[in-house]
């Protein structure tokens, strides 16, 4: 696999690790990282010896959401550019969600906004007590549109409404209680738990697991695929609104937003 700049792909025996590698930016998402993640998953999908994929972040964060420089660029995007950008991230979420092999997300710090979405579309999430989760987009005039298609199915509409409307941040225990993560693991035990989980998955028939994942897709994929296209349009349209621009500007200028009805 060719070298990447924003991620690292490590292959060990029958599993691979994809490491978000922008620790100085808390592994924030930008277009390059989204493109490289998409390419990495595409390559690993057809590599028969790789049966499990682990997604993790370098440093103290899993992924803190959108990159600051990227947010500055968004202010100048037109509708078409915003639509392309939204579809790009939405298609990455779909690619991970539809991946035929089990994906384990390891979250040891912040997983926020798009970063929380990235973890949410994985099959399993192992988190340490230092992890935090949330979709705080509404606090700066964003709409967490893309992830809503997955979140409602995972934790139910009532909890999804609460998270997306309030923008509240959950600690690891709260995230576990919400059903957002699978297991809460103490930091010293994380590596052991990860190895155990990989071993358990490796003991299963690879085609049986792939078929099991396909069963979920048969029920949901076409519906979610259609929703992602619609939600990308919602995203693109809202990004042209005065409220969105005020939200970005207030965030970048470190001031309270001046919302107007």
Residue 76 lies in a domain: yes
For tokens 């409307």, the residue is 165
135 domain residue, yes or no: yes
Q: Tell me if 254 is assigned to some domain.
A: no
Q: Sign of dihedral through CA atoms 174, 127, 194, 49?
A: positive
Residues designated as active site: 137
Query: Is 0.85 topped by the overall pTM?
Result: yes
**Does 134 map to a domain?**
yes
Cβ contact 103:124 at 8 Å = yes
Look at residue 49 in the predicted model and tell me its pLDDT: 96
DSSP 3-state of 48? coil
Domain count, the chain: 1
Residue 122: which domain range?
7-187
pLDDT tens sequence across 190-203: 999 999 999 999 99
The DSSP output letter for 24 is: G
Q: Are 29 and 114 in contact (CB under 8 A)?
A: yes
pLDDT of residue 219: 87
Q: pLDDT digits over 5-44, tens only?
A: 999 999 998 999 999 999 999 999 999 999 999 999 999 9
- 192 falls within a domain: no
Q: Is the pLDDT of residue 238 over 70?
A: yes
Closest CA to 86 of 36, 164, 152, 146: 146
Residue 205, Ramachandran bin (φ over 0: left; ψ between -120 and 50: alpha; else beta): beta
Residue 56 has pLDDT above 90, yes or no: yes
Say how far apart CA 123 and CA 86 lie, in whole Å: 22
Q: What is the CATH number of the domain that holds 149?
A: 3.90.226.10
HEC secondary structure over 122-186: CCEEEECCCCEEECHHHHHCCCCHHHHHHHHHHHCHHHHHHHHHHCCEEEHHHHHHHCCCCEECC
Q: What is the pLDDT of residue 261?
A: 66
- 20 domain-assigned: yes
User: Would you say residue 1 has pLDDT above 90?
Assistant: no
- Classify residue 196: in a domain, yes or no: no
């Amino acid at each position: 696999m060719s070298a990447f700049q924003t991620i690292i792909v490590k292959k060990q025996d029958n599993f691979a690790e994809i490491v978000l590698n922008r620790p100085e930016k808390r592994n924030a998402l930008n277009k390059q990282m989204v493109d490289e993640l998409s390419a990495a998953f595409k390559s690993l999908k057809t590599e028969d010896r790789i049966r499990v994929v682990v997604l993790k972040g370098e440093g103290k964060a899993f992924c803190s959401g959108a990159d600051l420089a990227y947010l500055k660029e968004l202010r100048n995007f037109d509708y078409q550019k915003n639509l392309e950008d939204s579809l790009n991230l939405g298609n990455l979420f779909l690619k991970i969600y539809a991946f035929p092999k089990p994906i384990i997300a390891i979250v040891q710090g912040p997983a926020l906004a798009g970063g929380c979405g990235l973890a949410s579309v994985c099959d399993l999430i192992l988190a340490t007590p230092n992890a935090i989760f949330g979709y705080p987009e509404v606090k700066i005039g964003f709409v967490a549109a893309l992830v809503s298609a997955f979140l409602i199915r995972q934790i139910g509409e009532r909890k999804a409404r609460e998270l997306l409307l309030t923008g509240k941040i959950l600690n690891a225990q709260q995230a576990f209680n919400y059903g957002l993560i699978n297991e809460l693991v103490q930091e010293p035990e994380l590596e052991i738990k990860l190895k155990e989980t990989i071993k358990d998955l490796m003991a299963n028939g690879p085609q049986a697991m792939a078929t099991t994942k396909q069963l979920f897709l048969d029920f949901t994929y076409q519906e979610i695929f259609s929703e992602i296209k619609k939600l990308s349009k919602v995203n693109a349209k809202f990004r042209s609104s005065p409220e969105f621009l005020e939200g970005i500007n207030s965030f970048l200028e470190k001031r309270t937003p001046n919302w107007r009805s």
